[in-house]
A and B are shown apart, each in its own frame.
Chain A
Amino acid sequence: EAQVTQNPRYLITVTGKKLTVTCSQNMNHEYMSWYRQDPGLGLRQIYYSMNVEVTDKGDVPEGYKVSRKEKRNFPLILESPSPNQTSLYFCASSFRTANTGELFFGEGSRLTVL
């Protein structure tokens, strides 16, 4: 089954404790991206990757890091989480580009930073 898998789905952590949210897709997609969803703000792009070893900042990259060492994986790293990073996070992938194709989304990761 074609899917985007995120882990963990739910996480409560404390300020400053490094964490990683993993994302994996099994569709051989070139494009992957991370979004955060906050009430009233829709989805905002954090980082994206057009292919292996090619990553770039989205609209709200502060406090986040990513890497794309393999085509299928695109982890999101919070080096020192803060309460304003409490949010619902989505990983998405697309065959080639974001602006023309269908984005496939993971189920989401709800993060709470105390």
Chain B
Amino acid sequence: AQSVAQPEDQVNVAEGNPLTVKCTYSVSGNPYLFWYVQYPNRGLQFLLKYITGDNLVKGSYGFEAEFNKSQTSFHLKKPSALVSDSALYFCAVGPTSGYSSASKIIFGSGTRLSIRP
């Protein structure tokens, strides 16, 4: 079965420190991978995606993510956290094979990132 796991419900980081939000996936074939962010009382916003090519993907607001095929991971990173980065982060995977693969992406359960001043 295809799935996405975000092992941490919450991540706490001091402002200015690097941050990592973890994501692992299980999907047949080569996956398409995404990160979305949700601020309070808002819809999800696209941060970045990996389709193919360079394993390090750069996205919005200074975030980046590294695709690691051997570890089936796609961790979200930022070198220096800001208080304004505090939000709910979702990892998602887009299947590339199987019935109706074009019709969906599968979301993880989300990780709440809290940046303290």
Q: How many residues of A contact B (CB 8 A)?
A: 27
A67 on interface, CB distance cutoff 8 Å? no
How many residues on chain B are close to A (CB under 8 Å)? Answer: 26
Closest-by-CB residue of A relative to B108 is A42
Flag whether A106 is at the interface (Cβ < 8 A). Answer: yes
A98-B94, A99-B32, A99-B96 are known contacts. Are A107 and B42 too (CB-CB below 8 A)? yes
Residues of A within 8 A of B96 (CB): 99
Q: Which residue of A lies closest to B93 (CB)?
A: A99
The answer to whether A77 has its CB under 8 Å from any CB of chain B is no
- Residue A81, interface by CB 8 Å: no
Task: Point out the residues of chain A lying under 8 angstroms from B45, CB to CB.
Answer: 105
In the complex, chain A residues whose CB is within 8 Å of the CB of B108: 42
- A43-B90, A107-B42 are known; give 19 further A-B pairs, CB within 8 A: A4-B43, A43-B107, A92-B44, A97-B102, A97-B103, A98-B102, A98-B103, A98-B104, A99-B101, A99-B104, A99-B105, A100-B32, A102-B49, A103-B44, A103-B105, A105-B45, A106-B43, A107-B43, A108-B41
